[in-house]
């Protein structure tokens, strides 16, 4: 599949992803067009294959980024997305239903943010009020994501406004961070419990995440990440199969009542979600 979608420019790559049905919604396509992969991939930015970014990490292949965004899309779009959805429906394009509480700013966690590319694409989709946190366990890669994003005017604006933040922490524990203006919590995402959390019911409503993307293969479907999903919320996570050889994408949905559904999807190959190197 890889080489079919490669291009010689960002536009060509995105067009080929569209033609191959790897991108199927106009909103995803326009977000991919807004973010030039050349700012994030040090080599062959428009090839549909992963590229090394140092520290044993890779920027994932464009078709995997596309699949992640398409899967999470209904949990990324802000209220205004519903208008665009109607417009898209009128023009005959199919866009999934926008879910979530009307008017509530989106909160998205990108675990293993690496190059920062997907963090940027996600930020293009959540709108002006949304927040995307890119989480890395290697400080140099946290810095890389931020540096890459600062190469474009749009990226700098996202960083300056606080709508995108890159943090250092162990993604297996998730991350807890209030919306713009609030201070960063301690290492490992241990924030003081909010009033909502102390009430014990709607635990993650005050913080929590509408969408969690995991960019490295987890040994298990970490409960803590599922707990940090909002109701409703969705997680896209590659997980090692029990034989330790195969990996599959799992899509975890939490509905409005807090019921969790886990669905095994396609076979993939990601670098592992591990302890940080010493
Ligand atoms: N989405 C990124 C993928 C980078 S590769 C991109 O497309 O550029 C996976 C990343 O996961 C690596 O950068 C690696 O450092 C990070 N990672 C691995 N284990 C982690 C952990 N426990 N917590 C946070 N990040 C982790």
Write the DSSP assignment of 92-108 as a string of letters: T---PPP-S-TTPPPEE
Report the separation in Å between the CA atom of 168 and the middle of ligand 1, taken as the mean of its atom positions. Answer: 11
Q: What is the mean pLDDT of each run of 10 residues along the chain (278 residues)?
A: 78 97 97 98 96 96 97 88 52 51 83 98 95 98 98 98 97 86 41 42 65 97 97 97 89 97 95 92
Domain boundaries, the chain: 62-179+186-268
- Which uninterrupted H or E stretch holds 226? helix 223-227
Question: Closest Cα to atom 16, ligand 1: which residue?
Answer: 112
Mutate to test the pocket of ligand 1, among 61, 114, 120 (most ligand atoms within 8 A of CB): 114
Please name the residues in contact with 69: beta carbons below 8 A apart, sequence gap of 6 or more. Answer: 23, 28, 31, 32, 76, 118, 121, 122, 125
- Which uninterrupted H or E stretch holds 114? none
pLDDT at 177: 85
pLDDT at 62: 97
CB of 31 closer than 8 Å to CB of 119: no
Report the separation in Å between the CA atom of 171 and the middle of ligand 1, taken as the mean of its atom positions. Answer: 8
Question: Closest Cα to atom 4, ligand 1: which residue?
Answer: 114
User: Measured from the CB, is residue 274 less than 6 Å from ligand 1?
Assistant: yes
User: Measured from the CB, is residue 189 less than 6 Å from ligand 1?
Assistant: no
Report the separation in Å between the CA atom of 112 and the middle of ligand 1, taken as the mean of its atom positions. Answer: 3
Query: What pTM was computed for the model?
Result: 0.87
pLDDT at 203: 43
pLDDT at 243: 79
Report the separation in Å between the CA atom of 103 and the middle of ligand 1, taken as the mean of its atom positions. Answer: 31
Round to whole Å and give the CA distance between 172 and 111. Answer: 8
Please name the residues in contact with 88: beta carbons below 8 A apart, sequence gap of 6 or more. Answer: 25, 26, 27, 94, 95
Torsion of CA 158, 163, 164, 168, to 10 degrees: 140
Pick the atom of ligand 1 nearest to 50's CA.
Answer: 7
The CATH number of 62-179+186-268, from 3.50.50.60, 3.40.718.10, 3.40.50.150, 3.90.226.10, is 3.40.50.150
């Amino acid at each position: 599949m890889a080489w079919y979608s490669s291009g010689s420019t960002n536009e060509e790559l995105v067009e080929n992803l569209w033609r191959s049905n790897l991108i199927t919604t106009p909103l995803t396509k326009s977000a991919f067009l807004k973010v030039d992969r050349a700012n994030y991939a040090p080599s062959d930015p428009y090839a549909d294959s992963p590229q090394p970014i140092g520290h044993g990490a890779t920027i994932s292949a464009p078709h995997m980024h596309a699949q992640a965004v398409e899967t999470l899309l209904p949990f990324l779009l802000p209220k205004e997305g519903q208008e665009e959805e109607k417009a898209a429906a009128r023009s005959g394009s199919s866009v999934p239903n926008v879910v979530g509480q009307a008017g509530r700013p989106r909160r998205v966690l990108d675990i293993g943010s690496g190059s920062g590319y997907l963090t940027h694409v996600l930020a293009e989709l959540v709108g002006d009020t949304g927040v995307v946190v890119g989480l890395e366990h290697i400080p140099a890669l946290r810095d890389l994501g931020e540096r890459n994003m600062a190469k474009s005017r749009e990226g700098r604006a996202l960083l300056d406004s606080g709508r995108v933040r890159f943090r250092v922490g162990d993604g297996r524990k998730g991350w807890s961070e209030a919306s713009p203006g609030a201070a960063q919590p301690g290492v490992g995402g241990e924030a003081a419990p909010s009033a909502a959390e102390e009430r014990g019911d709607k635990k993650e409503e005050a913080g929590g995440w509408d969408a969690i993307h995991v960019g490295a293969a987890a040994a298990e479907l970490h409960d803590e990440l599922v707990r940090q999903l909002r109701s409703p919320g969705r997680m896209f996570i590659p997980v090692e199969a029990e034989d330790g050889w195969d990996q599959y994408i799992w899509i975890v949905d939490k509905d409005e009542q807090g019921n969790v559904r886990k669905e095994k999807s396609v076979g993939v190959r990601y670098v592992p979600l591990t302890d940080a190197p010493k």
